[in-house]
Structure 1
Amino acid sequence: MFEHIKIFTLRAAFSAKEKGTLPPYLGSTIRGILGHCIREFVCQKPKTKCFMCERRDNCLYVKCFSNTGKEGGAVNPYTLHVLIDGKTEWNVGDECVFDLKLFGSATEQIGVYLDALLAMERKGWGVNRIPFQLVRITEAETGTLIYAGGKTWMRNLIPHSMSVGEKTAKTAMIRFDTPLRIVTGKNLCHSISFETLIRFISRRISLISQIYTEHRIEWNEEAIIEQAERIQVCEEQFRLVDFHRYSLNQKGNRLDLPAIEGWAVFDGDLTELTPILEAGKYFHVGKGATIGFGHYEVFYDR
C-alpha cells in the first residue's frame, strides 16, 4: 500500500568538536540549521518573508523545506527523527545521529538536502554555537554509505517506493518516543483515542500524497473512521511535556509548544487499519513532524 510515494532516508552522524550544553530535544535545533543552510544556497531575496515573496512558487527552499501552505495546508515533504534524546551535556567526540526522511518530489531533490547536511558542520549548534563535524551519512534502512571520509557516493542516492502491508492484530501498543502534539480546536489532546490517531495520520498521508506526488488517494474516510471508533483504549500512560523553541516571530523570541509523551494499548479488530498505522511510522502524526514530533513505534500481539 502507498507504493506511489517515493521515500529516502538520510541518516547523518555528527561528532562534537568542543564541550558544551544543548537542549534536551535537538529536533528544532537541527531543523533550524538545515533551514539556514538551504536558504543560503537558493534564496534570492533573503530579507523577504517566504509567504510574501513573489518567487515562492518556484523557490526550492519553499518546495523542499518550508511550504507556505498554498494547497491543502502547510505540510512539508520530510520528517526529522533524532536518535538520541534527553542529552544536554556534550563532550568532544560525542555523536549526534538523526534521520532526515524525504517523501515524493523531495526525493528528486536529495542533492539539496545532502548539500545542507554537508554545510551543517560549518555552523555552530545551539546558543553557544558548539562546532560539530560530519562523520558519515548513510541510507538508514540499508546502511549504504552516502558520505564518509570526505567522499560522497552520489550513485547510492536511489529513492524507493513505500510499501506497507496488513498485519493481523487484535491488540497494538503504540509508544510515542518523541513529543506528540495533536490539537483539536485550539486544545492539546492529553490522551489519544484510536479514532483520533487514525484520523490525523490518514489526513497527513492524503496531504503529502496530493501535494508531493500529485496523486489523490481515494479511500472511504467515513468507513475508516467508523472502524477506528470500534477500537478501544484498554490502558494508557501519558505525561505533559513543556516544550518551547526559539522563534524570531514570537514575543520574547519564545514559542511554546506543549506536548505529551507516553504510550497506549488498543484492543479490537485492527488488521485492516494496520497499513495506516505502519505508514504513520514514516510520516509521524500531529504537529511538529519537521522537528521530529509525533514519531512512534507499534507493537502487535501477532
Structure 2
Amino acid sequence: MSMLPLARYRFHFTASTPVRFPAWAGSVLRGGFGHALRQLACMTRQKDCPGCPLLHTCPYPALFAPPPVDHPLQRLSQPPAPYLIEPAGWGALELPPGANWHLDMVLIGRARHELPLIRLAWQRAAQRGLGPGEGRSELHEIETRTPESPQLPENTHAITLHFHTPLRLQDNGRAVPPDKLDAERLLMQLMRRLALLAEFHGNGSPGWDFKALKQAAATIASQKQLKWQDWTRRSSRQQQTMQLGGAIGRWTLQGELTPFLPALHLGQWLHVGKETVFGLGRYTLEDISAKTPNLPERPFQAIDSLRQSTPPQ
C-alpha cells in the first residue's frame, strides 16, 4: 500500500550484565527507548513537551508522543505513534552476561528516516539498563526483516488471523471479552487505524467510505477460538499498575473480504486494537480459502458502493 510505507527492523543485543524481562517486555522496552530518545532529541530541556517552542519540529514528540489533535474520525487525545515495539515472545526472561536477545521494531511512513536516531536511542537505552534490575546490554546489529507472509490473492474468501499477543478492542473504555468480539468491530478498528496512520505519517488520508465499509464488515461471518490473556504493566508516569489483558488465539473470517484484504495484510505489521506500541494486537494471516467450501450467495448490498473506495493494492 503505497500510501503507507513500512519497515520492520530487528535489533540484536548482547547482555553485559544479567538482564531480566517480565512476562511481556513491551512496556519496559518502550519506557527505556523513550527516555533515551528524549535525552538525545530534546534541546530545551523543558519538563513537559506541551508548551515547548520546538514542539512541532522536535523528533521526540513526532516519533514517540504525537501531540493531541481534533479529528473528525474520532477523538484523539494522541494520534497513533509511527512505530511499535515487538518483544521476542511471551514469557519472563533471565539472561546471563554474554546471552543474546532481540526485539523487532516497525517504523511507519516518515519515521523510517529517523533510523539513525532510533539506533542511537536503543544503544544508549541498552547501555544504561533495561528491565527490572536495569541489566545492561550492547547493541551489535540491526537487521531488516522481510514479510512474514505473501500478499493475499483477491479471491480470498476465508482467512484465519493468529493472534500472538493480546488483542484489546475496547467499548466505552473497557476491553471487550472474547465471546463479545465480532468481525465488524475488528475490521472497522483496523481500517480506522490504517486511515489515521496514513493521514498522520504516510501520504495522506485514503478517503475511504467508512459507512459503506461498516455495512460490508457487518456481512462477514467469523469463527473464534480465542482465550483471555492477562497482562499487567506499571506506568512510571502515572505511578499506577494497569491491567491490560486481551484475547489471543485463532479467529477465522469468511465472506466478501475483498475490500479488507490489503488492510488485513498490512495489519500484520501494524497490529490492531489498543496498546499496539507495546506490541499488543499482533497477528499473522493464513489463507484458508482452499480448505473451506464455497459460501452460499449472500446479499452484500454495500459492495457496489465500495468499489470506488476499496483500499489500494
Q: Is TM-score (shorter-chain normalized) higher than 0.5? A: yes
Q: 2:249 aligns with which of 247, 250, 262?
A: 262
Report the Cα offset of residue 77 of structure 1: 0.6
The answer to whether structure 1 residue 90 and structure 2 residue 89 are counterparts is no
Question: After superposition, where does 1:113-124 map in structure 2 within 5 Å?
Answer: 113-124=118-129
Report the Cα offset of residue 194 of structure 1: 1.1
Aligned residue identity for 1:17: S
Contact 1:167–1:275 under 8 Å retained in 2: no
Q: 2-side partners of 1:130 and 1:99: how far apart?
A: 19
Question: After superposition, where does 1:91-106 map in structure 2 within 5 Å?
Answer: 91-106=96-111
Q: 2-side partners of 1:85 and 1:257: how far apart?
A: 14
Report the Cα offset of residue 130 of structure 1: 0.8
Report the Cα offset of residue 47 of structure 1: 4.5
Q: 2-side partners of 1:85 and 1:46: how far apart?
A: 36
The answer to whether structure 1 residue 141 and structure 2 residue 140 are counterparts is no
1:237 maps to which residue? Answer: 226
Q: 1:123 to 1:215 in 2, by over 3 A?
A: same
Post-superposition Cα deviations, 1:58-96, rounded to whole Å, max 9, x if no partner, equal 221000111122354321111111123213322233332
Report the Cα offset of residue 234 of structure 1: 2.4
Q: 1-side partners of 2:171 and 2:182: how far apart?
A: 12
Q: 1-side partners of 2:124 and 2:6: how far apart?
A: 23
The answer to whether structure 1 residue 79 and structure 2 residue 84 are counterparts is yes
Unaligned runs of 5+ in 1: 143-162
The answer to whether structure 1 residue 276 and structure 2 residue 263 are counterparts is yes
Contact 2:7–2:108 under 8 Å retained in 1: yes
Contact 2:19–2:136 under 8 Å retained in 1: no
Q: 1:214 to 1:267 in 2, by over 3 A?
A: closer
Q: Classify the secondary structure of the residue corresponding to 1:225.
A: helix
RMSD between aligned residues: 2.1
Report the Cα offset of residue 28 of structure 1: 1.0
Q: 2-side partners of 1:220 and 1:165: how far apart?
A: 22
1:152 maps to which residue? Answer: none
Paired positions, count = 279
- Answer 1 or 2: which has greater strand percent: 1
Contact 1:104–1:212 under 8 Å retained in 2: yes
Report the Cα offset of residue 13 of structure 1: 1.1
Post-superposition Cα deviations, 1:165-192, rounded to whole Å, max 9, x if no partner, equal 6443232211111122211112211123
Contact 2:46–2:52 under 8 Å retained in 1: no
Aligned residue identity for 2:225: E
Q: Classify the secondary structure of the residue corresponding to 1:169.
A: coil
Name the % identity: 23
Post-superposition Cα deviations, 1:101-152, rounded to whole Å, max 9, x if no partner, equal 111121222222122122233211112011112131111129xxxxxxxxxx
Contact 1:243–1:259 under 8 Å retained in 2: no
Q: 1:109 aligns with which of 111, 114, 122?
A: 114
The answer to whether structure 1 residue 67 and structure 2 residue 72 are counterparts is no
Report the Cα offset of residue 98 of structure 1: 1.4
Report the Cα offset of residue 53 of structure 1: 3.1
The answer to whether structure 1 residue 211 and structure 2 residue 200 are counterparts is yes
User: TM-score w.r.t. structure 2 length?
Assistant: 0.82
The answer to whether structure 1 residue 128 and structure 2 residue 133 are counterparts is yes
Post-superposition Cα deviations, 1:192-237, rounded to whole Å, max 9, x if no partner, equal 3111111111111111111112511122222222121111122322
Contact 2:110–2:202 under 8 Å retained in 1: yes
